[in-house]
């Protein structure tokens, strides 16, 4: 019996820590950039903002190329990455995500290549349409991916995580475009970055409050460090974009870079929080004991 009243087996973890390495939180970021950039590009094109449309298309295509490389590198058997596509399985967010990434990456890179060579406009438009549909799924499914585990800080945040990841994706796509498009044409991108940062900040607050004790990992250890860095960097970047981003190219580049760094930190904060949550048996025992007190349990049978 520990001092705060829960019992465990020599303090050993009940769950296994996720084995994922640095590639996965980095992919959460690049996948977000890719997904939201596809939507940004198409919307810019529909409103006649060609420069923003083209840049966002290239950014999205690049992020869509990096993403599968990161995922393959994380596999225990990288040479078997195509095994992801031997089934279609709605009970596996990773399987569905692999298909979404294949469609999104294929479409955005087709569109970017055709844009580059300036040929086959109808095919390009079709590819853009496909990537615009796949993009929002790519940007948000990773929230379901982590929530669909036994890790308390992830599973109990299943309502908020896809929204947080979506907001973070919007912020990073807007920020990335702000860095590479002339401030004259980057207005929507800047607004997207600022709105994304604000939305994500509010959603993180909601999530941490609802998580209660389980959520304390976001204030401790490496997750705490990344969480604070995410808030600081994203807020500073958004403030810079909002105040000086329209007039100064330098401010737009710096602000965009800060927001991107903040969003990358946010993905790392969520990733590290999951590891810390799995490592300490108290989060599993206390949350399940609370549920038992509320609803009873059928896991054990006594007489």
Partner 1 sequence: MSAPDGLLTYGDEQQKRVGFFTDTSVCIGCKACEVACKEWNLIPADGNTWTGESYDNTSALGANTWRHVAFIEQDKPVRTDQDGGTALRSRLEAPADEPSAPGPEDRGAPSTALRWLMESDVCKHCTHAACLDVCPTGALFRTEFGTVVVQQDICNGCGYCVPACPFGVLDKRHLAPAPDLPAFAKEDGRVWKCTLCYDRLKGGHEPACAKACPTKSIQFGPLDELREHADARLAKLTDDGWNGAQLYGRDPEDGVGGFGAFFLLLDEPEVYGLPPDPVVTTRDLPEMWTNMLAAAGALVVGVAATFVGRRS
Residues 152-191 that bind partner 1 (CB under 8 A): 154-155, 158-159, 162-163, 165-167, 169-170, 174, 184, 187-189, 191
Residues 227 to 246: which contact partner 1 by CB under 8 A? 246
Judged by CB under 8 A, the number of residues near partner 1 is 93
* Smallest separation (angstroms) from partner 1 to the CB of 258: 19
Q: Is 285 in the site for partner 1 (CB under 8 A)?
A: yes
User: Treating both helix axes as pointing N-terminal to C-terminal, what angle do 249-279 and 121-147 enclose, rounded to 10 degrees?
Assistant: 40
Could you tell me which residues come within 8 angstroms of residue 99 by beta carbon, excluding any fewer than 6 positions away?
A: 85, 88
Applying CB under 8 A, among 57, 176, 278, 280 the residue interacting with partner 1 is 278
* Smallest separation (angstroms) from partner 1 to the CB of 137: 5
Applying CB under 8 A, among 5, 69, 83, 210 the residue interacting with partner 1 is 83
User: Treating both helix axes as pointing N-terminal to C-terminal, what angle do 221-244 and 161-180 enclose, rounded to 10 degrees?
Assistant: 50
Q: Is 106 in the site for partner 1 (CB under 8 A)?
A: no
* Smallest separation (angstroms) from partner 1 to the CB of 252: 12
The residue range among 90-98, 117-125, 223-231, 256-264 that interacts with partner 1, by the rule CB under 8 A, is 90-98
Q: What is the rounded CA–CA span in Å between residue 111 and residue 141?
A: 23
Q: What is the rounded CA–CA span in Å between residue 194 and residue 162?
A: 19
The residue range among 60-68, 79-87, 106-114, 230-238 that interacts with partner 1, by the rule CB under 8 A, is 79-87
The residue range among 61-69, 118-126, 142-150, 227-235 that interacts with partner 1, by the rule CB under 8 A, is 142-150
Q: Is 102 in the site for partner 1 (CB under 8 A)?
A: no
The residue range among 59-67, 222-230, 263-271, 284-292 that interacts with partner 1, by the rule CB under 8 A, is 284-292
Applying CB under 8 A, among 58, 141, 180, 218 the residue interacting with partner 1 is 141
Long-range contacts of 228-233 (CB under 8 A, 24+ apart): 229/261, 229/262, 229/265, 229/269, 230/262, 230/263, 230/265, 230/266, 230/268, 230/269, 231/201, 231/204, 231/262, 232/262, 233/258, 233/259, 233/261, 233/262, 233/265
* Smallest separation (angstroms) from partner 1 to the CB of 56: 10
Provide φ and ψ at 55, rounded to 5°: -65, -45
Applying CB under 8 A, among 98, 108, 109, 131 the residue interacting with partner 1 is 98
Long-range contacts of 93-96 (CB under 8 A, 24+ apart): 93/141, 93/144, 93/145, 93/148, 94/145, 96/141
Q: In this structure, are residues 189 and 237 in contact, taking their beta carbons and an 8 Å threshold? A: no
Applying CB under 8 A, among 182, 210, 219, 291 the residue interacting with partner 1 is 291
Q: Is 300 in the site for partner 1 (CB under 8 A)?
A: yes
Applying CB under 8 A, among 28, 30, 34, 36 the residue interacting with partner 1 is 36
Binding track, positions 191-230, relative to partner 1; x by CB under 8 A: xx--xx--x-------------------------------
CB-neighbour burial class of residue 133 (10 A; exposed 0-12, middle 13-18, buried 19+): middle
Q: What is the rounded CA–CA span in Å between residue 114 and residue 119?
A: 6
CB atoms within 10 A of CB 4: 8
Q: Is 95 in the site for partner 1 (CB under 8 A)?
A: yes
225 Cα distance to chain centroid: 18
Q: In this structure, are residues 226 and 265 in contact, taking their beta carbons and an 8 Å threshold? A: yes
Q: Is 252 in the site for partner 1 (CB under 8 A)?
A: no
Q: Is 13 in the site for partner 1 (CB under 8 A)?
A: yes
């Amino acid at each position: 019996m520990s001092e705060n009243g829960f019992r465990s087996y020599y303090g050993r973890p009940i769950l296994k820590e996720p084995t994922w390495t640095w590639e996965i939180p980095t992919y959460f970021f690049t996948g977000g950039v890719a997904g939201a950039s596809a939507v940004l590009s198409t919307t810019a094109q529909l409103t006649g903002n060609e420069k923003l449309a083209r840049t966002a298309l290239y950014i999205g295509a690049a992020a869509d190329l990096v993403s599968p490389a990161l995922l393959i590198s994380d596999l225990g058997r990288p040479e078997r990455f195509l095994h992801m596509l031997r089934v279609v399985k709605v009970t596996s967010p990773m399987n569905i995500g692999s298909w979404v990434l294949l469609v999104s990456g294929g479409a955005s890179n087709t569109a970017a290549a055709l844009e580059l060579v300036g040929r086959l406009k109808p095919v390009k438009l079709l590819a853009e349409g496909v990537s615009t549909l796949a993009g929002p799924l790519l940007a948000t499914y990773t929230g379901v991916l982590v929530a669909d585990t036994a890790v308390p800080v992830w599973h109990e945040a299943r309502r908020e995580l896809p929204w947080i990841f979506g907001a973070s994706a919007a912020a990073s796509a807007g920020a990335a475009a702000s860095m590479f498009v002339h401030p004259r044409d980057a207005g929507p991108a800047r607004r997207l970055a600022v709105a994304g940062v604000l939305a994500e900040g509010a959603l993180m607050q909601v999530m941490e409050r609802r998580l209660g004790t389980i959520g304390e990992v976001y204030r401790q250890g490496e997750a705490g460090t990344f969480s604070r860095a995410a808030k600081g960097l994203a807020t500073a970047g958004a403030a810079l974009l909002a105040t000086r981003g329209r007039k100064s190219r330098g401010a737009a580049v710096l602000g965009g870079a800060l927001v991107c760094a903040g969003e990358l930190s946010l993905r790392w904060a969520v990733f590290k929080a999951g590891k810390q949550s799995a490592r300490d048996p108290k989060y599993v025992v206390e949350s399940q004991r609370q549920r038992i007190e509320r609803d009873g349990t059928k896991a054990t049978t006594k007489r």
